[in-house]
């Protein structure tokens, strides 16, 4: 079937996530396979405004599957939120005869894409690329699996020194509004407690749990704190616990942007490839303002509007219960 799209551009925006390069590669090569001219936009929406748009061929995306970050770079662009900025971006798309756009990023990226498409009629497909795993419409977002593996590897190393010194470690992980990383990494690393934005846990409850572990001769304890917990970050909570519970020598580790980097896992390489392939096929089929996502191991389309307005991702109840049962 002759594609109704002749020129497609791809960009990455917002925070980077492992697997973005796999998605870029799949977008570019799928488009070329169908006879479409492919372009890469450097530095996200900023590149649309500055006309930093480059032609890409199949060799432009060689040997990038294993790389973290994004070869297209990324930036947060306040100017794109304005009417004037979006008009400039649209003019640059028209100048380059681009009639389809694939955007890879999180909710901020999708919010900009939705408004851009609604205002100017640009055909847009989104790929969920965020380690937070907080977009409705995909069981897993790009980079989430790699981030969890990175966190687990760090916690395993911290556990060694915690055991050696009878220490209590508070480990802060990313998750301002979502406890997905904290929840899964706590189970996989055998943490004694996890503090999530989605669940109220008082300092008193935490101290009681730690005291029970100490009474049953636990030699060390690991507490994972999602950065968006209502009681504060790891330093704040560690200070409050230390004031009334001094059984352990208390330490704090904030993993920070360590979680964003590194070579993507095989899962994220495959997911990025599947989503990139599906995004181009969706544009060819005439779809727009849709997000491609993984649902039950099948690639499904969800409207970008729904992915944004239904921002109520629920943590798995069985995993929530397991954090209590398996940490005794």
d(CA 46, CA 133): 25
Q: At what angle do helices 144-165 and 266-284 cross, to 10 degrees?
A: 160
Residue 115 annotated as binding site: no
Residue 145 annotated as binding site: no
Predicted local distance difference test score (pLDDT) of residue 161: 87
Task: Give this prediction's pTM.
Answer: 0.94
d(CA 199, CA 317): 11
Predicted local distance difference test score (pLDDT) of residue 313: 61
For the chain, domain boundaries:
7-143+264-309, 144-261
Residue 180 annotated as binding site: no
CATH number of 144-261: 3.40.50.460
End-to-end CA distance of the chain: 59
CB 307 within 8 A of CB 128: yes
- List per-residue pLDDT tens for the chain, 328 residues long: 456 899 999 999 999 999 999 999 999 999 999 999 999 999 999 999 999 999 999 999 999 999 999 999 998 899 999 999 999 999 999 999 999 999 999 999 999 999 999 999 999 999 999 999 989 999 999 999 999 999 999 999 999 988 888 889 999 999 888 899 999 999 999 999 999 998 888 889 999 999 988 888 887 889 999 998 888 899 999 999 999 888 888 999 999 999 999 999 999 999 999 999 999 999 999 999 999 999 999 999 999 999 987 655 678 899 999 998 998 8
Predicted local distance difference test score (pLDDT) of residue 157: 94
Residue 241 annotated as binding site: no
3-state SS class at 294: strand
CB 175 within 8 A of CB 132: yes
d(CA 144, CA 130): 7
Nearest to 27 by CA among 304, 300, 273: 273
Which residues are CB-contacts of 166 (< 8 A; sequence separation ≥ 6)? 219, 220, 248, 249
Q: What angle do CA 103, 106, 110 make, to 5 degrees?
A: 55
DSSP string, 68-122: -S-TT-----SGGGSHHHHHHHHHHHHHTT--EEEEEESHHHHHHHHHHHHHH--
Evaluate whether 7-143+264-309 and 144-261 have a shared fold: yes
d(CA 223, CA 24): 37
Active-site residues, by number, are 132
d(CA 142, CA 129): 4
- Residue 1: count other Cβ atoms within 10 Å of its Cβ: 6
CB 195 within 8 A of CB 224: yes
Residue 275 annotated as binding site: no
d(CA 160, CA 174): 22
Nearest to 252 by CA among 229, 235, 232: 235
Predicted local distance difference test score (pLDDT) of residue 183: 96
Class of domain 7-143+264-309: alpha beta
């Amino acid at each position: 079937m002759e594609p109704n799209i002749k020129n497609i551009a791809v960009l990455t925006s917002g925070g980077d996530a492992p697997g973005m390069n796999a998605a870029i590669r799949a977008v570019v090569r799928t488009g070329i396979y169908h006879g479409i001219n492919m372009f890469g936009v450097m530095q996200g929406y900023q590149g649309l405004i500055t006309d930093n748009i480059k032609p890409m061929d199949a060799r432009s995306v060689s040997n990038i599957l294993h790389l973290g970050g994004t070869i297209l770079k990324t930036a947060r662009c306040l100017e794109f939120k304005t009417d004037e900025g979006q008009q400039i971006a649209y003019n640059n798309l028209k100048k380059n005869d681009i009639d389809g756009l694939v955007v890879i990023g999180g909710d901020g990226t999708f919010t900009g894409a939705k408004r851009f498409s609604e205002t100017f009629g640009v055909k847009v497909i989104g790929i969920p690329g965020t380690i937070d795993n907080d977009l409705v419409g995909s069981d897993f977002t790009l980079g989430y699996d790699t981030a969890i593996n990175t966190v687990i590897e760090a916690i395993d190393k911290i556990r060694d020194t915690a055991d050696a010194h009878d220490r209590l470690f508070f480990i802060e992980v990313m998750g301002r509004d979502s406890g997905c990383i904290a929840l899964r990494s706590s189970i996989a690393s055998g943490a004694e407690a996890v503090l999530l934005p989605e669940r109220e846990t008082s300092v008193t409850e935490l101290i009681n749990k730690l005291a029970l572990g100490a009474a049953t001769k636990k030699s060390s304890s690991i507490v994972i704190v999602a950065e968006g917990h209502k009681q504060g970050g790891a330093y704040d909570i560690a200070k409050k616990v230390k004031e009334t519970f001094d059984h352990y020598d208390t330490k704090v580790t904030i993993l920070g942007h360590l979680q964003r980097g590194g070579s993507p896992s095989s899962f994220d390489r495959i997911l990025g490839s599947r989503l990139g392939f599906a995004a181009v096929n969706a544009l060819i089929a005439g779809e727009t303002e849709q997000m491609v996502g993984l649902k039950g191991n099948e690639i499904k389309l969800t409207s970008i509007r729904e992915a944004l307005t239904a921002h109520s991702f629920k943590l798995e109840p069985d995993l929530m219960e397991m954090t209590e049962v398996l940490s005794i």
